[in-house]
Amino acid sequence: MKKLLSFIMFVFLVTCIVVPSKAASVDETQIPICTTVNDTYIYTDADPFLTDGTTFVPIRFVSEALGVDSVEWDHPNKTAIIRDGSTEIQLPIGEDYAYVNGQYTSIRQGVKLVSNRTFVPIRFVSETLGADVYWDQDTYKVKIYKDGVTVPDNLVDYRGYTDEDILWLARIIEAESSGESMNGKIGVGNVILNRVESSEYPNTIYGVIFDDEFGIQFTPVANGAIYNDPSNTSVIAAKIALEGGNTAGDSLYFMNPAKAKSSWITQSRPYYSTIGNHSFYL
């Protein structure tokens, strides 16, 4: 899931320009959604997405992760068919209903075809297959549990970050860029992640935030704001940054020129861009 292809349509890369600041907002269909089955992250070849509060996932990947017998495509009737033991689910594309063992069943939001991939509401399919489904608002993750299921190795997604990483990155984003645009929030996240990758700083998100080798690096650490709960938009910005979204290039520093008490950054580091109230430096 490190490739967030649809992100290109959501935010453009900042290249040494000034981007106007506006309140953070996000198209919910572009929010990075993770899916787990029995606490194992599953790989999909197309990103899950939200529409009006309903999470859609590629039908084949989630079905096979749940160990179904087969997933088939009825081309003449434009219908996806899932078979698992004595259960058969027929899912007509573009309709707001399904047939479960021949019985008509209404589906909220229906079945969608996006970029030649069939997407289904994950809760409906999972619960029909006998699984329990939970939504983790703190990390934008769908958690599915079903007894006796082990995700096949080819469907396991080895995510390169933890829920703790999301939390701490979201906290520093919230504390440093509350009220900034989504681009600006992502940029703050990029700086933290760039430092993690740099040999000059600790190699964890938590370590970078609380780094004090040459003095406290971030004001929210000093004043305690780092411990405040992040907003949903800051969590989303953290996940976008962790999934590869970037608006600040290789920047290692950011500052608010109107509030900065030192000119060291402006005099010592190459300028990269300005997003809202923050200027970014390499």
Residue 94: Cβ-neighbour burial (10 angstroms; 0-12, 13-18, 19+): exposed
Identity (one letter) of the amino acid at 258? A
- 211-214, long-range: CB within 8 Å, 24+ apart, which pairs? none
Round the average pLDDT of the chain to a whole number and report it: 85
276 phi and psi angles, rounded to 5 deg = 65, -125
Strand partners, 104: 99
User: How many alpha carbons fall within 13 Å on the CB side of residue 138?
Assistant: 10
Calculated CA dihedral for residues 128, 132, 137, 139, nearest 10 degrees: -110
pLDDT at 14 over 50: no
Q: Model pTM greater than 0.85?
A: no
Q: What is the mean pLDDT of residues 128-148?
A: 91
The residue ranges of DSSP E strands in the chain, in sequence order, are 18-19, 34-37, 40-41, 49-51, 54-58, 70-74, 79-84, 87-92, 97-100, 103-106, 112-114, 117-121, 132-136, 141-145, 253-255, 271-275, 278-281
Greater confidence (50 vs 251) lies with: 251
Q: What is the mean pLDDT of residues 249-275?
A: 85
Q: What is the rounded CA–CA span in Å between residue 230 and residue 178?
A: 9
- The per-residue pLDDT for 52 is 83
DSSP 269: S
Token couple for 64: 């096979």
Least confident residue range of 13-17, 107-111, 208-212:
13-17
Alpha carbon of 104 to those of 67, 81, 89, 201: distances in Å? 24, 14, 10, 58
Q: What are the pLDDT digits (tens) for 46-91?
A: 888 888 888 898 888 888 899 999 989 899 989 999 999 999 999 9
Judge whether residue 213 has pLDDT over 90. Answer: no
**pLDDT band at 16, cuts 50/70/90?**
very low
Q: Residue 179's CB: how many other CB atoms inside 10 A?
A: 13
Supply 130's token pair. Answer: 């006998």
Residues 6 or more apart from 211 whose CB is under 8 A from it? Answer: 195, 201, 202, 217
What is the C-alpha to C-alpha distance for residues 123 and 181, in angstroms, rounded to an integer?
Answer: 32
What are the residue ranges of helices labelled H in the chain?
Answer: 59-65, 122-128, 163-177, 182-197, 205-209, 219-223, 232-242, 264-268
Is 146 within 8 Å of 88 (Cβ atoms)? no
